[in-house]
Structure 1
């Protein structure tokens, strides 16, 4: 089958190759991929941001939607022909991929593969962030790095739950949709955000983390879930203690008391009922993946980028 594999060369990070059909474990199904979305973490793995570029032959891809073509041997999970959204560890940028049953959600007819492909990483992160934050009704939330897929989902879910969200984006253009999704304020500089905040959801790192911490109300909570700036945080404990008592938590989205499949099911139901709207900045055929990767890396795409898989 055809798949996009890492080349080991950041200048041309992926290429098409013939690879072996996925070998599914008894608790996995094989999904024929209709669409996949791209995450910045995959770009960083390919271009060497995390260290060395991914080795040649690595198969990226964590966010997929498609149709089951081989059911799990143990009899669990969706049956052949059912449409699904999945969150494999890797290998999703391919015609077919094996996905554990526990990491799949079944799609109703009203949810397209393109919309569904945006849900796994960004949607799971947003849903679990807000779950970790606790009840948000009437609380003020400051969200940094808000113009990506996670930021759009957080804004819509939080405002629907009764929170007042202030979103911080790099430019007015990148924040256009957030106000429509319910954000009370969209700013480009933390200094322009009004008041103090009960909850800070921070994904930029560097000086942004420190500046966001200074806007925390006494008793508030910071959930740190990323470092998009790639700049380490330098934190003064004197500054931290100046707004005591506060709670600072590192938030890894993959640690959860609920399975990916359960939470993907919740996200799918929200999309199907019109209460969650994926922000898709680019949809293209997977032959254009290299261009989309470059545009994402240079922030020329707002929200999610989705590639549709056609036969080659």
Structure 2
């Protein structure tokens, strides 16, 4: 129990530091937000009135406390560009990015673990070479290049799948799945190739350990030794990569989402930067930090379940 308490306390302290750094960085940026909204030719009285309405006339410490209080209420301010609550914009975009992340991670887990175990078990066979080469190629090709390649085949050539937009699950479950196939495959081919290599190396390393020879000497079958002992002990480095991948995808795949014109977190980040929408950019920065910290926290919890020795230490 102390292990989980320490991890939870570390998560809260990290989020507090991240919130302070995030707020401080956006306070020292040059430029007055009122000029961004009203334009440089605005009347000084209008500028002053807008600064007062947005609370920019208050001391920085007071604004930080107000922002922290807003975080607990789910209030991240109003976007300059969209004139909508930042929390609502992030929530709407998270439906798209979350759906993309779920499908991508499922594909990564299935392809990466199964192919990695198969390669480790047949690494000395000639017919494993094509899969090894394919995983190496998938790592080398950027996700946006893979996206264009898939679009040219399945949209332009075969006309099987859409390449633009996103369909909500509530509107059409089949349309939702079709709109996610190409972008999720564009991301999953690269991430699963990384998982394949880690699983292969980790499984081969574990198979040389003494406990494996002991298990065989007790009469356990090959599959039972592999999936009950070797694979479980091989998951620690794989969990780390999987957690980093989840944080990366949930943080918004900016290029892939723009290639497929998906209104997700990545698209929202690019728009907020180009329009200098500081409240939206500040809210997105905190969201990205939250995703990374929470994913690392979940990875630590999974560590303690897979290998109880970590929790006991």
- The structure showing larger relative contact order (alpha-carbon pairs under 8 Å, at least 6 residues apart) is 2
Fold-level similarity (TM above 0.5): no
Larger Rg: 2
TM class by shorter chain equals under 0.3
